[in-house]
Amino acid sequence: MKASTTLYWVINMLFLIGLFGAGSLVITEFTTGDGCPKFGAVPACLIILICFILPFISHLLKKWNLIYFTFTGIATLIALVASVMQFIGNAECPKTDSGIPMCYITLLIFISLIILKKIQLNHLNNK
């Protein structure tokens, strides 16, 4: 299997993990009103879900890299701010069953998505 194909599928898996996680938080938010923190009246998990959906579509269609990097970048910044606030105790991110703040996981996923996509594009451009 070619490296670019492997990267394509690894990126797909990261998106699916992120969509599942953010999607479950959005469902919890809309059913209980207590799934995630809010930016004004907008749940942060909804913004993150959108930031997973649009780049995933871009990735699947293999075009619109500007959309990919814009929305993964926005989500990375949101997750970074949330992670710092969680770390210093000024905010409370939703946690996994094992107690890991999801903002940490989200930050790791989005940083990975950006790095892997950049590697994939460099590999394709060097052919």
Give pLDDT tens digits for 24-70. Answer: 999 988 898 887 888 888 888 999 999 999 999 999 998 889 999 99
Identify the band that residue 9 occupies on the pLDDT scale cut at 50, 70 and 90.
Answer: very high
Tokens 């995630």, residue? 36
CA distances from residue 6 to 12, 37, 89, 113 in whole angstroms, order as listed: 10, 35, 39, 13
Residues 6+ apart with CB under 8 A from 102: 21, 25, 93, 94, 95, 96
Give the pTM: 0.90
